[in-house]
Structure 1
Amino acid sequence: MTNLKVMSLGRNKFEGLLPPCLNNLTSLGVLDLQYNGFEGTFPSELFHSPNSLTFITLNENSFTDIASLSLFANHINLQVFIISCSNNPNLKLETEYPQFLPSFQLNIFSVSKCTRNGASNHRIPSFLLHQFDLRVLQLAHLNLSGSFPKWVLTNNTKLVSLSVSYNFLTGPFELNSPSKLFDMRYFDASSNHVNDEIPPHIGFVLPNLLSLNMSSSSLQGGFPASLADMTQLNWLDLSHNNLSGYLPHEFGKGTNDLRFLKLSNNNLSDPCLPEGSNFTHLFYVDLSNNNFKGKVPDGISKSLELRMLELSANQLYGEMPSWIGNFKHLGHLILYQNSMTGPIPESFCNLAELKYLDLSQNRFNGTLPSCLNMSPLRYLHLRSNDFTGPIPSVLTESPLLLT
């Protein structure tokens, strides 16, 4: 089949060696071998001579030896290259030796969980300096070091998704793009050693971002008010950093599409959410392990699809709000280690899907409502409070209870 243009074998259970006759497919444009069990040495022979290949994806096979990206230097039509080595512990990816100038302009380059070979083991692949048409760039779990690659954003103004997570990249974290990157939707620099502040103008440069993840990156400084300019933001994870100060007033007004909010394990201070916040679409909120003060914020009261609320290890006080019972799909409510007082409101009985309830280390008092729906409950932690009266008999209706 020497005129074959598309070979898509992905997501099957093929195994064994690739037959050498594949080298005859010089008209091939698309080669998709991902998620199989092909083994043997990396099929370099497939790529020795320039051909019409535009799309190559080799994820999750069991190839061995060395895969050198210089094989593709003269493949002028190449647009997509994807490989993940989580199932390839004996495959080494060589990006620098021999060095090459690419004749292609990639749209998608995705490499993850691969061992890099040679002396430049920790460098970001240098050929990417010559790429100006990238839409997706993923360099995850590669032990990359050096400064955050600001040139990627400067050179590729149509970039949609950038992921450099689980590396050792450091600051300075700069966004020097001369214009707004309107196409950028996903930005993930989590689990690095940036050790710098978030640029105050990040919302101006990336106004249409849907997801921002910079958790566990040693970030410092304050929470930029320009994040409110990301009016389409769905997912924000800045947890496990050293951010300090208040959440700006603009944030509560400008990000009403937010669904996932995780700011845990920082040094942020009161209040939990800016006064006047009006979030309506939240389903996951984790603000634990900060220095927030005040009452449980009203800014989340209209997010009726909320599944997870964790405000533990802060300095919250006051009673549990009655509107907590409006979250009929709430599965996790974790408020431990605060200074909250008062009885559990009767509206609590509306929480029919609660699986994890931790109110320990507060000052709650009164009796536990007898109408509580305990049937889905798996974890119930109430220690170090001032509850009185009998243990509710409805606990006997908790067949899934573990602790």
Structure 2
Amino acid sequence: MLSILDLSKNKLSGNLPPGFVSPWMQEVYLSRNQLGGTLTTNLSYQRYWLGVLDLSHNCFTGTISYWISRLPRLSYILLNDNQFHGEVPVSFCLENSKLIDLSHNHLSGHLTSKIFTSNIINCNARVAFSKPNHDMEFVSKTLLYTYKGVPLQLISGMDFSSNNLTGNIPLQIGHLGNIKVLNLSYNKFTGPIPPTIANMSQIESLDLSHNNLSGVISLQLTELHSLSSFSVAYNNLSGKCPQKITQFSTFDENSYQGNLFLNCTLPLLTPKPPLRPTTSDDGDDDGEDGFIDMESFYASSGVSFIMVLLIIASVLYVNPYWKQAWFYYVGVTITGCYYFVVDHLPVPTRYKVWELRI
């Protein structure tokens, strides 16, 4: 019996037949083809073992069929980069799913609280799916990653970006406590950022950019100690940015840009005095604004020079031997300088010098 169907990255086209999923299939990979049409099938939900459904990067249209969201083992749902429209099915078990990617479609409507609460009994009854046998692509921290093996088992995320979803982000979204990636960017969400997002203690990437969100950024978000990628850029947020503490100390202005009424200005620091004064522009050497007091410099230099002369004179007066040696070396030095000058002067000048000597 066929349990894994992998026909991804081909040039398949046309519509999928209603019974393309058999009860024994566990994984279906049909991504990056040219398949289209709507998804219709008749399933006896509890009989099916399907855990992975990857139909991304195709041309499917219509609404997302309700049967997709009600399979008891379905944990990986990749329907991104198609042309689905309509609302997100209420029967989606978002809390117990590993990866749900509905990005880059034409979905509309609200994310109602029923998506996170009404089907909680059915979600708790779902059977855990074993690890997938194929790698999967998923956007995390604004980059497209390919997950496989152990990393694929550890990642969990929900990506509804690049759709036409409207309304408020429901408070019940905080029920997704184990999610690591949440991307709701490039939609039309309004209202405040739910403070219940702070309940997502495992979240690493949070992208709410390019919406119409308003209000202040809840300080409770600073409690997300695993957060390494954060963006609320290009909304209508106001108030002050979260303090530069914990993980939020790593986020720069790019995370907040495009919010005209959001104040992220850091407190001004008192400038430190220069290490050395600058010289005055008028060239004065009076020492008032300069680095060196010239009068003191000249006085100290003169005193030092006189002291050296006095010390030399005292030594020569006390010790006759040093006195004789001193005058001997002075005479040798003068004679050497004289002959150096004579040997390097032009001939006429040299002749005149000899004449003066004679």
Partner of 1:310 in structure 2? none
Q: Is the 8 A contact 1:78 1:104 kept in 2?
A: no
Matched, 1:30 2:27: yes
Partner of 2:288 in structure 1? none
Q: Tell me the secondary structure at the aligned position of residue 176 of structure 1.
A: helix
Gaps of 5+ in 1: 250-270, 277-403
Query: What is the deviation of 1:247?
Result: 3.9
Partner of 2:165 in structure 1? 144
Mapped partners of 1:21, 1:85: distance in 2 = 23
Partner of 1:239 in structure 2? 257
Q: Is the 8 A contact 1:190 1:214 kept in 2?
A: yes
Q: How many residue pairs are counted as aligned between the two chains?
A: 235
Gaps of 5+ in 2: 125-154, 272-358
Name the one with the larger strand percent: 1
Q: Tell me the secondary structure at the aligned position of residue 77 of structure 1.
A: coil
Deviations 1:317-368 (A, max 9, x none): xxxxxxxxxxxxxxxxxxxxxxxxxxxxxxxxxxxxxxxxxxxxxxxxxxxx
Q: Is the 8 A contact 2:45 2:72 kept in 1?
A: no
Higher RCO, Cα 8 Å, sep 6+: 2
Partner of 2:50 in structure 1? 53
Deviations 1:215-236 (A, max 9, x none): 11111111211x4210794775
The letter of the residue matching 2:189 is L
Mapped partners of 1:53, 1:47: distance in 2 = 11
TM-score norm. by structure 1 comes to 0.51
Q: 2:61 aligns with which of 47, 64, 73?
A: 64
Query: What is the deviation of 1:241?
Result: 0.7
Query: What is the deviation of 1:189?
Result: 0.4
Partner of 1:230 in structure 2? 247
The letter of the residue matching 1:78 is L
Residues 104 and 218 of structure 1: CA distance in aligned 2, closer, same or farther (over 3 Å): closer
Mapped partners of 1:61, 1:112: distance in 2 = 13
Q: Is the 8 A contact 2:182 2:205 kept in 1?
A: yes
Q: 2:5 aligns with which of 4, 7, 14?
A: 7
Q: Is the 8 A contact 2:237 2:262 kept in 1?
A: no
Q: Tell me the secondary structure at the aligned position of residue 64 of structure 2.
A: strand
Matched, 1:195 2:214: yes
Q: Is the 8 A contact 1:76 1:103 kept in 2?
A: no
The letter of the residue matching 2:72 is I
TM-score norm. by structure 2 comes to 0.56
Q: Is the 8 A contact 1:148 1:169 kept in 2?
A: yes
Query: What is the deviation of 1:47?
Result: 5.0
Q: How does 1:24-173 map to 2 (within 5 A)?
A: 25-39=22-36, 41-45=37-41, 49-50=45-46, 51-68=48-65, 70-86=66-82, 88=83, 91-96=84-89, 100=91, 105-116=96-107, 121-124=108-111, 126-129=114-117, 130=119, 135-153=156-174, 155-173=175-193
Mapped partners of 1:223, 1:152: distance in 2 = 22
Partner of 1:334 in structure 2? none
The letter of the residue matching 2:115 is F
Larger radius of gyration: 2
Q: Is the 8 A contact 1:48 1:71 kept in 2?
A: no
Mapped partners of 2:43, 2:180: distance in 1 = 28
Query: What is the deviation of 1:176?
Result: 3.2
Identity %: 17
Matched, 1:211 2:204: no
Q: Is the 8 A contact 1:209 1:233 kept in 2?
A: no
Q: Is the 8 A contact 1:93 1:114 kept in 2?
A: no
Deviations 1:275-308 (A, max 9, x none): 89xxxxxxxxxxxxxxxxxxxxxxxxxxxxxxxx
